[in-house]
Amino acid sequence: MKIAVLPGDGIGTEIVDQAVRVLKAMDLKFEMEFAPVGGTAYESHGHPLPESTLKLAQNCDAILFGAVGDWKYDQLERQFRPEQAILGLRKHLGLFANFRPAICYEELVGASSLKPELISGLDILIIRELTGDIYFGQPRGRRIAVDGHFPGAEEAFDTMRYSKPEIERIAHVAFQAARKRSKKVTSVDKANVLETFQFWKDVVTEVHAQYPDVELDHMYVDNAAMQLVRAPKKLDVVVTGNMFGDILSDEAAMLTGSIGMLPSASLNDKQVGLYEPSHGSAPDIAGKGVANPLATILSAAMMLRFSLNQAEAALRIESAVKKVLASGLRTPDIWSVGTQKVGTKEMGDAVVAALAVQ
């Protein structure tokens, strides 16, 4: 088994360092190889996703990714911007299924902006389709309108589209994930207005026939956005398209209080995956040693479970993280009165120490 480790920019290096320490402390058999990505790779290789980094990623069983991006690259031509590295990896590796769990740890209930009783025990899995929808549909662009409300005016347009196989494969992923949880899937669409999402709903319903043991319900995206803040615990596995998933998964992330706690996985049909924290490169705190490494450490746990077939080791990491939180240690983003503030490395030390006493 081989893991490509791509720390990237900003806090990427700091948080990935801690996840790598945790992985090494597990005493498992795999190789890790580091490579530059994002702005760092642009500086050293003239491209955010150099050929050598892409090749390494293509030849590994999993990718542990930090974060990319910095405001200093905002002026670059789009193809050279750090964020293009993630899009390139998704495309070249066919990473179509994005798993974003939103779990509220009991010790962090107070960090949420929602009332404790609404989020205590929260454990939602949002599964977002990642390679289709309006983000990738062609044609797109700007032109002079020939019809509409203002013919002759400049306009911009995108194309929302999904093919049947694209919907089928993400629906299978969702139903299979639900079988390992509470056997309930909510498919989020906008079938009342959009042709694409009526089709989405029809295809998900068709695939559901193969999973009679799993309950399926459908929800319009506006209602889903509302239910996430009204009664989030009623949801379990949520499956949706690229754009709705983008928005809902960030909303779900904030239910738990801090983006520094949330892991994510993007998988292809061979279970090869890219594992990264849900947050970005946080240039505002980079180099200060205060970033929360837990989202990255929990992403490493997801990697062990989904791509490296090491579910038991994943559980060990997750329970070590819970133990550390229970002991009262907090990075500044999750700190509250009565807990002990620590930096990135101290948090990593604590997780490694908690693993040792299991």
Binding test (CB under 6 A) with ligand NAD, winner from 124, 285, 302, 352: 285
135 is catalytic: yes
**Residues binding ligand NAD: what is the number (CB under 6 A)?**
22
Q: Are 104 and 257 in contact (CB under 8 A)?
A: yes
Spot the catalytic one: 135, 184, 322, 349.
135
The least CB distance from residue 89 to ligand NAD, in Å, is 10
158 is catalytic: no
The least CB distance from residue 295 to ligand NAD, in Å, is 6
180 is catalytic: no
250 is catalytic: yes
Spot the catalytic one: 73, 190, 201, 275.
190
202 is catalytic: no
> Is residue 50 involved in binding ligand NAD (CB under 6 A)?
no
The least CB distance from residue 246 to ligand NAD, in Å, is 11
Distances in Å between the Cα of 126 and the Cα atoms of 129, 176, 253, 265 are: 10, 13, 10, 11
Query: Binding to ligand NAD (CB under 6 A): which residues in 249-278?
Result: 259-260, 276
Q: In the complex with ligand NAD, which residue's Cβ is closer, 137 or 283?
A: 283
The least CB distance from residue 109 to ligand NAD, in Å, is 19
The least CB distance from residue 266 to ligand NAD, in Å, is 10
Site track for ligand NAD across 84-103, x = CB under 6 A: --x-----------------
Q: How far apart are CA 343 and CA 54, in angstroms?
A: 32
The least CB distance from residue 279 to ligand NAD, in Å, is 3
> Among 163, 130, 145, 317, which residue's Cα sits nearest to residue 242?
130
Spot the catalytic one: 72, 180, 222, 288.
222
Q: Are 34 and 40 in contact (CB under 8 A)?
A: no
Q: Are 34 and 63 in contact (CB under 8 A)?
A: no
> Is residue 333 involved in binding ligand NAD (CB under 6 A)?
yes
List beta partners, residue 189.
220
Q: Are 100 and 278 in contact (CB under 8 A)?
A: yes
Q: Are 8 and 40 in contact (CB under 8 A)?
A: yes
Site track for ligand NAD across 288-327, x = CB under 6 A: ---xx--x--------------------------------
Spot the catalytic one: 250, 322, 323, 349.
250
> Is residue 14 involved in binding ligand NAD (CB under 6 A)?
no
Q: In the complex with ligand NAD, which residue's Cβ is closer, 132 or 280?
A: 280
Q: In the complex with ligand NAD, which residue's Cβ is closer, 137 or 343?
A: 343
Q: In the complex with ligand NAD, which residue's Cβ is closer, 178 or 274?
A: 274
Q: In the complex with ligand NAD, which residue's Cβ is closer, 3 or 235?
A: 3
Query: Binding to ligand NAD (CB under 6 A): which residues in 51-80?
Result: 67-70
Binding test (CB under 6 A) with ligand NAD, winner from 48, 232, 280, 348: 280
Active site residues: 135, 190, 222, 246, 250
Query: Footprint of ligand NAD on this chain (CB under 6 A)?
Result: 11, 15, 67-70, 83, 86, 259-260, 276, 279-285, 291-292, 295, 333
